[in-house]
Amino acid sequence: MQPKMIRFARFEVNFEQRELRKSGNRVPLQHKPFRILEMLLRQPGALVSRQELAKELWPNLHVDFEHSLNSAVNSLRQALDDSPRECRFIETRSGLGYRFIAPVEEIAIPGRPTSSSAKTNVHDDYLRGRFFLNKMTSDGVQQAIGCFQSALSEDSSCALAHSGLADCYCQLALSGTVCAADVCVTARESATAALKTQPNLPEAHISMGRVRMIFDWDWSKAADDWSRASDLNPSLAEVHRARALLAAAGHRHDDALREICHALDIEPLSLPIGFERAWLLYLSRRFDEAVTQAWRVLTLEPSCAPAQTILGLAYFQLGSFDESFTEIENACVCSDRHPAAVASLGYVYGAAGFVDKAQSALDELVTQSQRRHVSTYWSALVHAGLDQPHLALEALEKARAQREPLLLWAGVDPRLATLHSEPDFLTLRRDLRVA
């Protein structure tokens, strides 16, 4: 039986190739928006509930799927030139789900794409994935995952896409908004698949090193992975970037800054590398330079919340409290109240003596934790700012029990400096000492 595809208006959907075309031209669509379209088209006119979509598309991750689902549906509508107010294709049933309301037609697939065009589509999806991952936003990570999954749906042997997926799940774990245990297996499987498919791919070794650093706390093996990647391609910025973070966590600040500068020389316009240089300058207590570097990042992307946060934290250390509050408030807005920004705001308010505002930040973190994972590392920062060492240490112990990757920074984060003389903190630092 000849394969079928769906046609509606000027669009055609090929389920087998996972392609959406408009007037014959391919329309880029990430994995999850495409899967939503597929579920709607499998039963046109019928209501597909939000619960069905969540169960199908976010089965294992404890994430805020409501926000992710809304983003995916919005991406799908953009691809279809559709509007929620004057919908031609997708009707929203408020609080219930969605229906596909346009007439559809089943047609035979006239021919399969050539090998070269399929490879082009796969590589384009991979490049889009890297672009979204480098945006350093929660939505960007989800969009990147969709792009890498789309590439793998066309070519399951694409090692670069497997590597990209591993990096996404590592980034999710480091964000402190996803439980490390929920993404550890997927990250490791993705990195392993990349190495199995292409053993001499340096990006695959970099990804495996990240998995070992973030989830295993195996600094030695992570360093070995990155040495192997460097042997394969010493000019990759990602090698220097990975080494820089590990060196900083191990108190080797000069090595860290040297490595991140190498990475920035290779990719001078990279948003994450530019931000990480600001972060490493902050960790090394070079606060004036951290301010300068954060502003460099913000000239590239004025709404980069991580750079705004570092700028505000560095201003605070320099005694510019008003500027500090302003920048971190901006970070909260631009990041949609990401716990990293909220915790930093709570810390600076607490350390400046504004107890009520710091407590408000703590309450917000608790509220957020009722609908998604929020690392207790974030609340530890606020307690430290409020000079509540015992509560801060309790939060850090909870983070250790959950093997939170954010503990990588516990020994060098200036926000925890008031805990350095506490016996329990000294024990924690010794147990987590990074080589």
Q: How far apart are CA 178 and CA 389, in angstroms?
A: 25
CATH code at 97? 1.10.10.10
Query: Based on the domain organization, do 120 and 221 belong to the same domain?
Result: yes
CATH code at 294? 1.25.40.10
For all residues of the chain together, what is the average pLDDT?
Answer: 90
User: Domain containing 182: what range?
Assistant: 114-234
Chain centroid offset of residue 54 CA: 19
Structure token digits, residue 165: 């997926």
Q: Which of 88, 108, 128 is the last residue of a domain?
A: 108
pLDDT single digits (tens) 254-284? 999 999 999 999 999 999 999 999 999 999 9
Q: What is the band of 115 on the pLDDT scale with cuts at 50, 70, 90?
A: low
Please check the confidence at residue 129 and state whether its pLDDT lies above 80. Answer: yes
Query: Based on the domain organization, do 267 and 283 belong to the same domain?
Result: yes
Query: Based on the domain organization, do 351 and 282 belong to the same domain?
Result: no
Please check the confidence at residue 111 and state whether its pLDDT lies above 60. Answer: no
Query: Based on the domain organization, do 366 and 429 belong to the same domain?
Result: yes
Query: Based on the domain organization, do 352 and 246 belong to the same domain?
Result: no
At 91, phi and psi to the nearest 5? -100, 130
The beta-carbon contacts of 274-280 under 8 Å, at least 24 apart in sequence, are: 274/300, 274/307, 275/136, 275/304, 275/306, 275/307, 275/310, 276/241, 276/244, 276/245, 278/307, 278/310, 278/311, 278/314, 279/306, 279/310, 280/244, 280/245, 280/248, 280/253, 280/256
Rg of the chain (C-alpha set) = 23
336 Rama sector, left if φ>0, alpha if ψ -120 to 50, beta otherwise: left
Query: Based on the domain organization, do 303 and 370 belong to the same domain?
Result: no
Q: Which of 48, 80, 108 is the last residue of a domain?
A: 108
The DSSP output letter for 28 is: P
Domains: count for the chain = 4
Query: Based on the domain organization, do 8 and 97 belong to the same domain?
Result: yes
Count of CB atoms within 10 A of residue 124's CB? 15
Nearest to 162 by CA among 110, 106, 205, 214: 205
Name which residue leads in pLDDT, 8 or 395.
395
Share of the chain above pLDDT 90, in %: 66
Query: Based on the domain organization, do 154 and 199 belong to the same domain?
Result: yes
Name which residue leads in pLDDT, 117 or 150.
150
Q: Which of 234, 269, 286 is the last residue of a domain?
A: 234
Contacts (Cβ under 8 Å, ≥6 apart) of 195:
159, 201, 204, 205, 208
Q: How far apart are CA 404 and CA 169, in angstroms?
A: 13
Nearest to 331 by CA among 316, 344, 350: 344
The SS3 assignment for 160 reads: helix
Q: How far apart are CA 70 and CA 77, in angstroms?
A: 10
According to the model, what pLDDT value does residue 60 have?
A: 63
Please check the confidence at residue 427 and state whether its pLDDT lies above 90. Answer: no
Flag the least confident range among 75-84, 235-244, 280-289, 312-321. 75-84
Query: Based on the domain organization, do 130 and 69 belong to the same domain?
Result: no
Question: DSSP string spanning 279-318?
Answer: HHHHHTT-HHHHHHHHHHHHHH-TT-HHHHHHHHHHHHHT
Q: Which residue has the tokens 């046109």?
A: 44
Nearest to 384 by CA among 375, 393, 392, 394: 392
Q: How far apart are CA 274 and CA 264, in angstroms?
A: 7
Q: Which residue has the tokens 């590597």?
A: 163
Structure token digits, residue 36: 């939503």
Flag the least confident range among 8-17, 124-133, 153-162, 248-257. 8-17
According to the model, what pLDDT value does residue 2 have?
A: 42
Query: Based on the domain organization, do 170 and 278 belong to the same domain?
Result: no
Query: Based on the domain organization, do 197 and 295 belong to the same domain?
Result: no
Nearest to 253 by CA among 225, 279, 226, 274: 279
Query: Based on the domain organization, do 226 and 118 belong to the same domain?
Result: yes
Summarize the confidence of residues 128-153 as an average pLDDT.
91
